Amino acid sequence: MMHNIKPTHTEDDHKAAMKMLAALWGAPEGSPESDRLDILATLIEKYEEQHFPMDLPNPGAA
């Protein structure tokens, strides 16, 4: 199964990337699909870091 992986810039790109991620999930380690999964996860992580930043927890809340 071939997927066109591209940078994730918009919400629509993010949704498409998440759909591809779900399709690739569970790919055998070392397979081309597993490599695509790793690349895609990195792109998604970068997008989410920029668009959905997480604040560090308040030490008192822990």
- Residue 21 within a domain: yes
Structural domains in the chain (count): 1
Residue 57 in domain: no
Residue 60 lies in a domain: no
Identify whether 1 is part of a domain: no
Q: How many CA atoms lie within 13 A of 29 on its CB side?
A: 0
Taking only the tens place, the pLDDT of each residue in 8-54 is 999 999 999 999 999 999 999 999 999 999 999 999 999 999 998 88
Rounded to whole angstroms, how far apart are CA atoms 62 and 24?
36
Does 29 reside within a domain? yes
pTM of this structure: 0.77
Residue 35's domain spans which residues? 11-51
